[in-house]
Amino acid sequence: MRNIPVGTWLDCGCCGTWFETWEGYVDQDQDEGYGICRKCQGEIREHDEAEWDKAIATLREGLNDQNRAKFDAMPRIQQKAMVWDALDKGILTYHIVPRV
Closest CA to 60 of 49, 72, 51, 50: 72
Minimum distance, C-beta of residue 54 to Zn ion, in the bound complex (Å): 24
Return the number of the residue (90 or 98) whose C-beta is nearest Zn ion.
98
Element (DSSP H or E) covering residue 34:
strand 34-35
Closest CA to 27 of 16, 35, 17: 35
Return the number of the residue (15 or 91) whose C-beta is nearest Zn ion.
15
Minimum distance, C-beta of residue 97 to Zn ion, in the bound complex (Å): 20
Contact residues for Zn ion, defined by CB under 5 A: 12, 14-15, 17, 37, 40
Return the number of the residue (40 or 55) whose C-beta is nearest Zn ion.
40
CA 21 vs. chain centroid, Å, equals: 21
- What is d(CA 14, CA 36) in angstroms, rounded to the nearest whole number? 6
Minimum distance, C-beta of residue 41 to Zn ion, in the bound complex (Å): 8
